Structure formats: structure tokens, C-alpha cells
Amino acid sequence: MRSRIASCTCGQLRIEVKGEPQGVGVCHCFACQSRTGSVFAALASFRPPYTVYGRATEYLRKGDQGASYTFRFCPVCGSTVFHNEVGYEDRSVAVAVGCFSDPGFPPPEVSVYDCRRHGWVDLPQATVRYDKDPD
Ligand SMILES: [Zn+2]
Ligand SMILES: [Zn+2]
């Protein structure tokens, strides 16, 4: 099975995932914008098992629909590398697409919080758009 490694900027925190992503999406919500420092987050979810190398600092954030997410970022360089939905750690992990450093990574299928998308951000035509979070 194909494996991929996502790494923070300094290389201290890495996660190895196996197989193809369950889904790839972008999120334009303000929490993702401030978390990444970019104008949207690009995330790919993978099924366990996965392996984490290095130390992570955790940040717990409650989503609009009541779900909680544990974000894990590198305490040295600050990259947010991956996160889990609390209570669903055994089902999937969401990894920041940019941490794979792979411009050939599969494109997003969904766009979440499209209502907060910056006007100049253009998405592939086939991307399914949700005004907010469809969950
Ligand atoms: Zn780092
Ligand atoms: Zn978001």
C-alpha cells in the first residue's frame, strides 16, 4: 500500500499515512484561516493506522456544530500538521495537504464554508461547495 509522509516545516513532527485519502477538501472558515495563516485550509483525511514521529502540541477547538477537534502542531516551528475529531480518532485523521510538499497531491473534492472564501480564490469546476459545514 502506498504510504505518504507529511512533515512540519522543521521536520520535527511528521505523520505517515497509508493508502489513498478518504477525502480531500478545503475549508475557508475563519478558524482555519487564522490557524494556518493562509486564506483557506487544505485537508486530506486518511484511515488509521498511521504513525506519528516527533512531539506535538495540542489545541482543542470546538466547531460550530458542537464537534471538537484536537489540532496538533509542531512546538518548534508551529506548523499545524494534523488533527482528529474528538471521539473519532479510530476512524480518521485529517492531515494538512501542504505538509506533504507534493504539488501532485489529489485536488479537493469539497469546499467548506464557501461563504467565507476570498473572492480571488478559484477552485476546480468539479469541487462541491457548501456554504457552511455540511455535517
Ligand atoms: Zn517543526
Ligand atoms: Zn475550517
Helix or strand holding residue 26 (H, E): strand 23-27
Over residues 81-120, the pLDDT tens digits come to: 999 999 999 999 999 999 999 999 999 999 999 999 999 9
Over residues 37-91, the pLDDT tens digits come to: 999 999 999 999 999 999 999 999 998 778 899 999 999 999 999 999 999 999 9
Res 134 pLDDT > 80: no
Q: Walk me through the domains of the chain, giving residue ranges and CATH numbers.
A: 3-117 (2.170.150.70)
Ligand nearest to the CA of 113: 2
Is residue 81 within 8 A of residue 130, CB to CB? The reply is no
Radius of gyration of the chain (CA): 14
pTM of the model: 0.94
Burial class (CB in 10 A: 0-12, 13-18, 19+), 14: middle
Pairing of strands 110-112, 128-129: parallel
Ligand nearest to the CA of 65: 2
Q: Where are the alpha helices (H) located in the chain, listed in sequence order?
A: 30-36
What is the distance in A from the centroid of ligand 1 to the CA of 89? 22
